[in-house]
Structure 1
Amino acid sequence: MTNAQNDQDAAEAARRARFGSLPEPIRLEDTVQELPATVPDPAKDTYDPNEWLTRNAL
């Protein structure tokens, strides 16, 4: 074999070692991280959607 053939075979072996197989599949659950966007505000949950009835009907 010639030197160029040896270089080509070495390059092919390196390419197969690096790209010869697909990576292991990753589950979707492992790719998502859920974090709250803001700190929960207890005052926010005190809203009463029927408050307008008390203000306007009395």
Structure 2
Amino acid sequence: MGKELSTDTAAAARHARFGKLPERTRFEDMAEEAEAAPRGGANAYNPEGSWKYYSCLALDLGL
């Protein structure tokens, strides 16, 4: 019915078709650490001006 391949023959056929697995990626190479640039200018958080962007439905309805 179907031809049965021995383990060595099957492994050789698989290796011929797919080749070898890629090298493992080290954990240290997966992430890069970088210093965060200080935020300034128009994008900086201003706690005194944050009330301008506060939205509350109760205040909008006058409750």
TM-score by length of 1: 0.27
Q: Which has the higher helix share?
A: 1
* TM-score (normalised: structure 2): 0.26
